[in-house]
Chain A
Amino acid sequence: MDHLTVTVGLKSRRRFFLKLRRQTVIQIMALSGLAWMIIFNYIPMAGIYVAFSDYNVAKPMFSAPWAGFKYFEQFLNDAKIYEALTNTLGISILNIVIGFPIPIIFAILLNELNSVRYKRIVQTVSYLPHFVSWVILGGFMINWTSETGLITDLIKKVGLVPPRLGLLGDPDYFWGLAVGSVIWKEMGWNAIIYIAAIAGINPELFEVATIDGANRWQRILHITLPSIKGTIAILFTLTVARLLDSNFEQIFVLYNTLNASRSTVVDIYVYHVGMRLGRFSYATAVGLSRSIVALILLIISNRVSDKLTGVSFI
């Protein structure tokens, strides 16, 4: 009996090495990927030490004295951080509720177009704004909403009264403006992955459904959507995990003192009281807390997705 187990063990081990040898090239490729991850994603994690110490840029990181949870307490005790949190969550939730379905709807609508040429043109035009940086686009938006700007003129032409201080000067409009501009800029780009997923559906399914007398609406509901369910679930899980992130670049260029009460998101606040003052420990503490929340959200939304659609990636 003992003898047998040893032989089997030896055999399987030999088989393992044989397999490894045959896959040398592939294994090297995989290992370099792994090494990359260890070097750039795992080793830098040691940097979270900064969050627990009184870090000074001029000195080596680990020579900084231990400060415990001082910086975590600092931001948790700061009343302003809660206003910033409200704004971050407000914008993020609107982005999910409104911004998330729109690329899906857009991709499905595009798929229903018969003219391939027209489809291509619409798709290309729709994702062009993605390539304009926020710095430039923010400048456009400031100009368009200024006293003599395009959008202000348009509102007047339609017969409405523009807000007294302009769209960007009125905090009530800020969340809408932030979410709207993201949708306008990223709709086409975000739709690409869904368009690809839809393209992967077996066309025979649609043919069979047509023969069975299913109309367009029924085909979308029963073939297209269920087929791209997995893609939607994964992207949704990732989006939810980014709930506490905000688009710093965008908010930074659109931020001004008039809309500050609605535009001060966590990133902006940390920039003001952390980075601008060189308080790296504070900024790292906020970043770390946010990552922990993101991890929790990721696990929860993955569970939910697993329960609802059977798609899980952990």
Chain B
Amino acid sequence: MKRLLLLLLAGTLVLSMLPLIGIAEDTQGTWETDLTPITFDVYFSESWWYDEWTTDQPTRSSTYITEKTGVSINFIAPTGDRDEATQRMIAGGDVYDIMLFSVYDPFVKGLEEAGLLLNLLDLADTYDKTFYDVVAPSQIGWFSSAPGVLYSYPNFADAFEQAMAMPDSAKRFLSGDAGVGVRKDIYDALGRPDMTTIDGFLSTLAAAQELYPEVDGLPLIPIHLMFEGNGCRVLDSYLPQFLAQPITDENGMFDRFSDPAYIDWLKAFRKAYDLGLISRDSFTDKREQVEEKLSSGRYFMVTMGASDLAMVNNDLYAVRGGKDTGVWYEVAEAFHNPAGDAPHLHDKILLDGWKNLYISKNCKDPARAIRFLNYVMGEEGQRAIWFGIEGVTYDVIDGADVFKPFVYDGSVSWEELVEKYFVYGQNWAFWNNNLQNTFARPEEWRPKDGFDQYGAQNMYFRTELEGTYSIDSTLFPDEALIDEQVGLEWGTTLPKLIMAESDEAFDTILNAFLKLRDEMGYDRVLALRYDIVQANREKLGIK
């Protein structure tokens, strides 16, 4: 932390000294310097993109921004196959003014190599230094392809140091990959028993099944699990987080199978299957079947991401009157390690963002482009994009911006909200997480399941894992292939483990898998993951 502070301090010092050095002082300016109308062609690299930057509705946030800055946006999306269209565009060198790509997009490398992108740091130094107020220093470091060379303007991206300093009220947007939810009516009727130990978990599921054998004439399913081609997310990804497993240890990447508590919990699931507490449908159901079961409250216990659960709960509230019957999911404690540690839920910080903005060599006015981006990604632009126009979609009450209720209470259709106002998270092309996360949300909007507080309380920063979840097959083809093949092998092994007749049979199957995994060269995958984590840590300044 001290190191980070020092770094920050050094960064600010350097920045504050830049004007003294004095480079091309006369070209400096902001969006206010030039207000003559201009239209930028903005390429959005997905064919499903439908947004339009229109100015015919005076109530629209886009109209407000265009009138203020003189900049209008003409969105262009590829028709047909995005890869082909993008490749054609790059090969022809006929690139648009501004383009949106994910940093993982293989095309970014191509654009860079072909010299079709402008260095944003050069643009900022020459035309508009407010860039350094909008884009956090750590983001500049994170996205730079070489020291002093930055092509990507962060969009939907969190800055590490700002996320770390976020108050708890804002942390809920970043926190908690997952939580455990239980049906409130059943859990209350059972007397809210402890599920953090294996015995408590098994006896609670059994008691739930005994007390509520049926839901609408169909059997209650004690626990929600979904087995897919390469495993089961609850058991593979969430369970280690609940057991507070570390990411690395002295041997490199931490292998979740080396944790005896994890093996014990997997065996608890085997026992649960033995006792008839895991439905056989879990192995054959696809997403549609699971969603149907969720929306009728057929599971007693679910483990999933907060936003997924919020959708389920909304449905249960509206369709089934869950408010009165108690048929909805509330957060609960479960799956602790023998030491009883609190879960280490991975954060949802998006360091890489979603679709970053790139200014091209062909840009008709690079100065206006960087100044416009600094405006629209800055405080005022972001406020307009989230809240809209004062008096139209929001009011200032006691110094705070408050939405007019029609925006979020459902009295205006979603289409109308987009068409007439373009606020409340509808504009995806220009989104600065560092500001958006601090803007007030209506209390009504907040789910009542308690997942967000739980997530914020149990969040652990796990940002250094970015880039390790699925290995980039263009950079590391061999490791990506091994990982995929081991995943497929695990996908068929895991159901066998859960359905094993005894703990001894379980051990035999697991050991056979681990041996096979080693033979397939899984060490290389772990080593690569460790290298990525270490590189990330260095970039982020984490010890």
Q: Which residues in A have some Cβ–Cβ distance to B below 8 Å?
A: 56-60, 80, 138-139, 142-143, 145-148, 164-166, 168-169, 253, 255-258, 260-261, 272-273, 276-279
A148 touching B218 by the CB < 8 A rule?
yes
Task: Give 10 A-B pairs besides A169-B283, A257-B228 with Cβ atoms closer than 8 angstroms.
Answer: A57-B106, A58-B87, A58-B90, A58-B106, A142-B284, A148-B219, A258-B495, A261-B492, A276-B484, A277-B473
- A115 CA to B302 CA, complexed, in Å: 57
Interface Cβ pair total, 8 Å cutoff: 90
- Judged by a CB distance under 8 angstroms, whether B281 is at the interface is yes
Contacts of A145 in B (CB 8 A): 284
* Cβ B283 vs Cβ A147 within 8 A: no
Judged by a CB distance under 8 angstroms, whether B83 is at the interface is yes
* Contact residues, B411-454 vs A (CB, 8 A): none
Contacts of B91 in A (CB 8 A): 60
A146 to B283, alpha carbons, bound, how many Å? 10
Indicate which residue in B229, B481, B485 contacts A279 across the interface (CB closer than 8 Å).
Answer: B481
Tell me, rounded to whole Å, the shortest Cβ–Cβ distance linking B523 to chain A: 19
10 pairs, A vs B, C-beta closer than 8 Å: A56-B474, A145-B284, A169-B280, A169-B283, A256-B284, A257-B227, A257-B229, A258-B227, A260-B492, A276-B484
State the CA gap A57–B488 with chains docked (Å): 25
Within 8 A of A (CB), among B218-251: 218-219, 227-229
B473, A146: Cβ atoms closer than 8 Å: no
* Closest partner residue, chain A, to B499 (CB atom): A165
Q: How many residues of B contact A (CB 8 A)?
A: 35
Select B83's contact among A57, A169, A258, A276, beta carbons within 8 Å: A57
Tell me if B286 and A253 are in contact (CB < 8 A).
Answer: yes
A165 surroundings in chain B (CB, below 8 A): 280, 283-284
- In the assembled complex, the Cα of A58 lies from the Cα of B87 at a distance in Å of 6
The residue from B218, B481, B485, B492 contacting A257, defined by CB atoms under 8 A apart: B492
List, in ascending order, chain B residues with CB within 8 A of A253's CB.
286
CB contacts (< 8 Å) of B491 on chain A: these are 257, 260
The answer to whether B219 touches A147 (Cβ under 8 A) is yes
Do A273 and B485 touch across chains, with their CB atoms under 8 A apart?
yes
Question: In the complex, are the beta carbons of A272 and B484 less than 8 A apart?
Answer: yes
List the A side residues contacting B87 at CB < 8 Å: 57-60
Q: Cβ of B477 < 8 Å from any Cβ of A? A: yes
A277 contact from B109, B281, B480, B494, Cβ within 8 A: B480
Q: Which residues of B contact A56 (CB under 8 A)?
A: 106, 474
Contact B481–A168 (Cβ < 8 Å): no
Residues of B within 8 A of A147 (CB): 219, 279-281
| Residues of A with C-beta under 8 A to B484 | 272-273, 276-277
- Across the interface, which residues of B come within 8 angstroms of A272, CB to CB? 229, 484, 488
Residue-wise, chain B 350-392 has the 8 Å CB interface mask toward A (1 for contact) of 0000000000000000000000000000000000000000000
Question: Of all chain A residues, which has the CB nearest B493?
Answer: A257
In the bound complex, what is the Cα–Cα distance between A60 and B289 (angstroms)? 42
Cβ-defined contact, A58 with B279, below 8 A: no
Q: Are A146 and B110 in contact (CB under 8 A)?
A: no
